[in-house]
Structure 1
Amino acid sequence: MTPHKEDYLKVIMELGGDKQLVNNKQIGQALSVSAASVTEMSVKLLKDGLISHIPYQGVQITEKGQLIANKLIRKHRLWEVFLSEKLDFNWDEVHEEAELLEHVSSDRLIDRLDAYLGFPKYDPHGGVIPDKEGRIEVYESKPLIELEAGSRFIIREVDDDQEFLAYLLNKDVKLSVPYLLTNVEPYEGPYTFEAQNHQSYQISFKAASKIYVQ
């Protein structure tokens, strides 16, 4: 399995391709590649039995493809934990470094890294880390935009996007901290919430749509 194929499978998985069809435009945008490149790779992955395809609609990752994708996601997320916890990288700095490390890490090294880190369940952004067999825990969460004023919540996961993570870091918004949603402005206005120490936060509707809570 080449790193190039692994990247395609991982992106299809991250775009929700285990549950729904993902089109070429979505894949191309996520990988910053041309439509022709996506089509060429899709033919290879289809031949290997790693994806299924419905003409003019998109592709979906097979069970075989999910296993490969989840093992790569496991490597990526464990490296993100290591970079964050052991080398003091901010959460908006770990993605690119983990991208480089995931493809050069053997399964044996990753198992040792997992044990060294104390078998973490989540990456710095709240993403679930698959186990060594490629299985991934399913948990219930919803976008912050689905809550009404007066709701209490903790942030479970946020989109792994560097610019967005830097935005949250600047506002000091954190995972697993109890918050109270105090106000929601109409017509996609800002969301205001506060922590238990009464520190107040205000974020945009777009940002709230990228935050998943319990």
Structure 2
Amino acid sequence: MKEDYLKIIFELGGTQAKISNKQISLSLNVAAGSVTEMVGKLVKDGLAEHTPYAGISLTSEGIKIAENLVRRHRLWESFLVFKLGYKLQDVHADAEVLEHATSERLMDHLDDFLGHPSHCPHGGVIPTKDGDYKEDSHQVLADAEDGQSVIVDRFIDNHDLLTYLDDIELNIGDRLKIISHAPFEGPIKILIEETGQETNVSFKAAHYIFVK
């Protein structure tokens, strides 16, 4: 769906930077050809700009629509996780249904009920009704250097990724030390400083864990 593309481009930093088709393909788990086709539609509709060999970014109109979609989706995620006890990796599908079936009036009441949260359960920013928010970090774990200490800031909203992170017990707010990057797109070895536990994060997953 067009909305899924707008949301993922927003999440990957496409309000300010150029996002590659490959990043979108990996995040949405869709074929490269499908991404190329949808990017063409977004450009045609005036929602995105595509620069050959550089990538895609959202236009002001695309940003406005993405902010509204992200706000709706993440407020429902917050409700389902914090009020109904959903597991983080199981929340996306129901939030997806609810975001499309909710009036603006209900969204305003939901926002009030939740206390106007600034971030959703997987760390993503929630724009206000007026479109105000502080831009998230867009540095990914994969780009952190050996020996560097970083804090886990947020995760891409992807079911398989969130299930994987639950399995390796990696959480938002964890302080990590990067030990080593294995060659040929191998895993990244990290130390979770609070627990002293060493673990490996796959090359792919490390591109969808944002750190600061």
TM range (shorter): 0.7 to 0.9
Find the aligned partners of 2:61 and 2:161 in 1 and give their Cα distance.
32
Amino acid at match of 1:74: R
CA contact (8 A) 1:22 1:60 kept: no
Q: TM-score, normalised by structure 2?
A: 0.78
How far apart are residue 153 of structure 1 and its match? 2.1
CA shift in 2, pair 1:66/1:41, >3 Å: same
Structure 2: distance between partners of 1:192 and 1:8: 31
Q: 2:192: which partner in 1?
A: 194
Computing the radius of gyration over CA atoms, which structure comes out larger, 1 or 2? Answer: 1
CA distance in 2, matches of 1:35, 1:146: 24
> Which whole-Å CA distance do the structure 1 matches of 2:36 and 2:170 have between them?
40
Q: Secondary structure at the match of 2:157?
A: coil
Cα deviation, 1:150-191, whole Å, max 9, x if unaligned, reads 33221001122111110110111110123333x214413431
Note closer, same or farther for the CA distance 1:21–1:40 as it changes in structure 2 (3 Å cut): closer
**Is contact 1:143-1:213 (8 Å) kept?**
yes
Alpha-carbon distance in structure 2 between the residues aligned to 1:44 and 1:146: 33
Corresponding residue of 2:38: 38
What residue is the counterpart of 1:126 in the other structure? 123
Change (3 A) 1:31 1:136: farther
How many residues in Structure 1 have an aligned counterpart in Structure 2?
Answer: 206
Number of the residue aligned with 1:184: 180
* Percent identity (aligned): 37
TM-score, structure 1 normalization: 0.77
Aligned partners of 1:86, 1:154: CA distance in 2, in Å?
26
2:191–2:199: 8 Å Cα contact kept in structure 1? yes
Deviation sequence 1:134-157 (CA, Å, 0-9, x none): 233114452222333433221001
Q: Residues 140 and 210 (structure 1 numbering): CA distance in 2 closer, same or farther, change over 3 Å?
A: closer
Post-superposition shift, 1:199? 3.1
In structure 2, the CA distance between the partners of 1:54 and 1:124, relative to structure 1 (3 Å rule), is same
Instruction: Return 5+ residue gaps in structure 1 as ranges.
Output: none
Work out which of the residue numbers 192, 196, 202 in structure 2 matches 1:204. Answer: 202
Deviation at 1:45, TM superposition (A): 2.2
Q: Is the 8 A contact 1:70 1:130 kept in 2?
A: yes
State the 1:54 CA deviation: 6.8
Q: Does 1:168 align with 2:165?
A: yes
- Secondary structure of the corresponding residue to residue 45 of structure 2: helix
Instruction: Give the secondary-structure state (helix, strand or coil) at the position aligned to 1:123.
Output: coil
